[in-house]
Chains A and B, each alone.
Chain A
Amino acid sequence: MINHRVMKIFRHELASKRKSPSLWLIFIMIQLLLAIALFTGWQQYQHNAQTQAKAQSLVEQQWEAQPDRHPHRVAHFGHFAFRTPSALSFFDLGVNSWVGNSIFLEAHKQNSANFANDQDGGTLLRFSELSSANILLTIWPLLIIALGFASISGEQKSGTLRQLMSMGVSFRDLVTGKSLSYLFLSVIFILPVFILALVLAASTGAAFSSEAPLRLLLLFTVYVLYCLFWIGLTLFVSSLVKAPKQALVLLTSIWFILTILMPRMLAEFAHNQYPHQKRNDFELAIKLDNRKVGDSHNPNDPYFNKFREDTLKKYGVSTVEELPVNYKGLVMQEGEKLNAEIYKKHYEKQLEQFSAQQRFVSQFYWLNPYLFVRDFSMALTRTDTRHFLDFEQQAETHRYARIQKLNKLHTEEIDHHNDRDQRIDKSYWQEFEAFTYKSPVLGWSLSPFSLAWLLPLLVVLVMFGSLNSKGMQRRVYAAV
């Protein structure tokens, strides 16, 4: 497929682009922009990683430094879970700005992550942040358009196409040569940022796992494919539309629709179609459900009356005072269990709505590869909604285990009589495991995309296929 004519066109196209000073200028400017974005992303990542790690170790210290205390007091003292930023988040910030960084873990209550960095988001973040991923996703396609919009229609207009054809260059050679030259430029253009990202990622030390290079390699592949999509589209439009100016306007309109208008419309539409509950509604629903079950702090609550009878039966005694364990602790355990179940039920409903919204958007991956690459990139850098929710769930699991362990201490180490005035030894606090967020592995990160990448890839292939088709060749020849 690649013969010397293709190579000639490839070299010629590169040479002609090399001569354009404005292209050089834009190239350098965007290269700079990428470097700035990567650098500030890196700084932000380091700052966040340090802050979270410091805060996490501070709360672990605070926990262990507690004096002799009643376990239930400790349960109210609570704990914190901090979200350490993912190692590649400096490349793609994803949804980081819109989600909180820390969760307060306490008894009876599931808090949400607080302290996000979305100040002035409604004014300043209407195009999201200036991350490397965002530049590659939105600005680089514009440059591909600028490079190639006139590649076929321009040759047509200036009459050089006729000359080329008379020299025996087929349309297929022309398209292949030009595609290759733009691909070459794209790779040269995006390679530095990936190499730099690899170097930076490697310098994170502990956070750098063997997976990181693999993730970066996949990122690189998907961004190259994304470039190919835009190259194909540009050449396609350039072949179909007669005047270069028309091709340019059409291409920028398509760019605007695919990267700016459509993602917004789909997101809003998905939200309308599958609305999740707002904070007040969500908390009210949980509160009402909890009320139905009963109040574990109220010893005469109907649900807990039954629980008492069952417990007494189980141990074969007639009063709670005769129980070998502290009944109040048992009540706490039961209450926490019920409460967590209710929360989980409502939380899962929310999760279902979130994933329904995401599924709705992902139906359009084939039509708009921008959406696919954006989501795939966020998944690879562990910065999408799903990864954040995974953190929330890990924190809740940790909260539940920690509180129930305290309730168990309450049951076993505190006497029922004069419960409130007792304390257990501070050595118990050393027996709790610290919260560490377990970063999901690559397989988990990519599981929603099992076959989703096939369609966008197919679209790219079909585009190049039709560019190389006889029909297209005839169409272009007819115009010469």
Chain B
Amino acid sequence: MLLFKLECKRLFSGAINKLVLLLFVIAGVFAIYQGAQGYKTLRIDQYKSKIVFQKEREHVNKRETLPAPGSLAYYASAPTEWKLSPWAALFVGESHSSMVASKVRATALQSQIFNREIVNPAQQRTGGLDLGFVLVYLLPLVIGILTVTLISDEQHAGRWRMLNALPKSAFSQVAKQLALRFAVIWLLVSLLLVSAAMILSLPFDGIFWTVLLASTLYMVFWFAIATLIMSFGKTSVFNSLAYLSSWVVFAMLVPSAVHLYLSNQYKTDAPLEMSLTQRVTLNDGWDKDKQQTLDTFLQHEPNWQDTAPLGEAFDWKWYYAQQHLSDVEVAQLWQQYRDNNQARQQTLQTLSALSPALFFQLKLNQLANTSSADQADYRLQVVEYHQQIRHFFYDFMFFDKPVTKTDVENFPLFEAKPLNKEINIWQILISALVIFALAFFSAVRLKQLRPI
């Protein structure tokens, strides 16, 4: 007990140790606070979009006569929603740089789904500070500063030889010191997570425990790296530099190398080509035979085959038919873009094994439903909803049914797919296995370290 107290005293005696722990907590609290704010603005955006649409709908229904279905469809921009769990406050992923409540209407789809959120690019460039950043990138540095010079300090102070002469091995002394540091840092991490959960009213469910478990494993990994470096028995300076270099490699160099590789390998101009092609198709449509356009459209959408042929005057059903045909025109490019995206995601998954920091970051974003795969998923939901809206209006336009107030009330609203994050037990188990193997190896090496 006395020894424990002494060790605690030693841990908190150095000004730098205290400073680093304090910095960690400040950064964590700041990140949670910022995250809560940011999440609130996202939710407000989503909520407001719904309200605005509701108001517009009421406004339409207050009119004496409702406009023609085609005209109504033209102005009916319906809100959608990227379903985010409150974890998005802590692991923001792509949720701040892209639309979380994009609007969609029955006109050509492709010109609507590449809209971007307004961001200050300078802010994006800094990389943001969410709790994910604190855990993935700051935490390893804290571990490093507190541990990596433990033995070399003992050596330097001349105690290492003495400790080795004691009946209880020097190894067990160092192990105790490491365990103490692990416990202190783990407590801080848990404290941050628990307080974040309280502030954001996150349930203590599977995801919470997964995040805690994953953070613990991640800590074990960096402790193992520190132990491995110590086991070479070099000077404090060497240890510090070696640890810092491995941090730079895992946290900065590997992710940017992966980014470089992915952007080169999966370079695509499909979105641009799509918008260029679609524009020309839409415009040439006005000069083409309108009945022919309609007939082609009906081949794609046979449910409305029984519609009357076009007359002389402008008909909305032709307008929407050619809008849809312009989507059909670029369907192949769209598919290509999606396939390319998917392949990119898969490669990212595979390559993320190169760096535990990258892997951990990716998993955290996936747990919070904010990764780019989730974003692509949301986009697909918007595409499906777009079809639902089109089909809703087709009935009126193609069968000359007037829109009634009840129909306006019955306009289909976007329903986000419920969140069900499957927690991949196998992935956790395998990473745990690898990390513990590394930790064991480092511990064995450390045990064999003898004073020179």
Contact = CB atoms under 8 A, between A and B. Distances in A.
A184 interface: no
B129 A129 contact: no
Interface stretch (B118-126, B190-198, B203-211, B392-400): B118-126
Contacts of B153: 245
Interface in B119-155: 119-129, 133, 136-138, 141, 145, 149, 152-153
B120 A354 contact: yes
Contacts of B263: 44, 117, 119
Interface string A266-281: 1110111001111111
A117 B156 CA distance: 50
Interface in B276-298: 276, 279-280, 283, 286-287
Interface residues of A, number: 89
Residue among B19, B37, B116, B121 with the most chain A CB within 10 A? B121
A264 interface: yes
A127 B117 CA distance: 21
Contact of A130 (B260, B262, B283, B372): B260
A294 interface: no
A366 interface: no
B248 A125 contact: no
A119 B344 contact: yes
B423 interface: no
Given A47-B267, A98-B121, A122 B372 contact: yes
B251 interface: yes
A124 B358 contact: yes
A357 B93 contact: no
Interface in B240-267: 240-241, 244-245, 248, 251-253, 255-260, 262-264, 267
B61 to A, nearest CB: 18
B149 to A, nearest CB: 6
B256 A99 contact: no
B124 A95 contact: yes
A259 B101 CA distance: 34
A124 B244 contact: no
Interface in A94-137: 94-95, 97-102, 104, 112-130
Interface string A243-285: 0111011101100110011011111101110011111111010
Given A115-B271, A123-B365, A129 B259 contact: yes
B103 interface: yes
A15 B344 CA distance: 48
A388 interface: yes
Contacts of B52: 284
B276 A58 contact: yes
Contacts of A430: none
B125 A94 contact: yes
B97 interface: yes
B164 interface: no
A476 to B, nearest CB: 20
A120 B123 contact: no
Contact of B248 (A100, A139, A245, A280): A139
Contacts of A99: 121
Contacts of B236: 245, 248
A71 B451 CA distance: 88
B120 A249 contact: no
Nearest to B27: A261
Contact of B256 (A73, A122, A124, A265): A124
Residue among B48, B125, B260, B271 with the most chain A CB within 10 A? B125
Nearest to B134: A261
Contacts of B93: 122-123
Contacts of B271: 114-115
Contacts of B97: 98, 118, 121-122
Interface string B358-392: 10011001000011100000000000000000000
B325 interface: no
A138 interface: yes
Residue among A51, A126, A350, A361 with the most chain B CB within 10 A? A126
Contacts of B269: 51
A59 B276 contact: yes
Interface string A75-107: 011101000000000000011011111101000
Nearest to A244: B237
Nearest to B241: A146
Interface in B300-341: 341
Nearest to B376: A119
A365 to B, nearest CB: 14
Contacts of B118: 112, 276-279, 282, 350
Nearest to A106: B279
A150 interface: yes
B275 interface: yes
A71 to B, nearest CB: 13
Contact of B279 (A77, A98, A126, A275): A77
12 contacts: A47-B267, A119-B344, A120-B259, A121-B94, A125-B259, A126-B137, A127-B255, A128-B127, A249-B145, A253-B19, A264-B127, A264-B128
The 10 closest A-B pairs by CB, nearest first: A95-B121, A130-B256, A122-B93, A98-B121, A264-B129, A124-B259, A245-B236, A98-B124, A267-B126, A267-B123
Given A67-B287, A146-B241, 13 more contacts: A115-B272, A122-B95, A122-B371, A123-B358, A126-B137, A142-B244, A149-B237, A150-B237, A268-B34, A276-B118, A280-B48, A284-B52, A357-B122
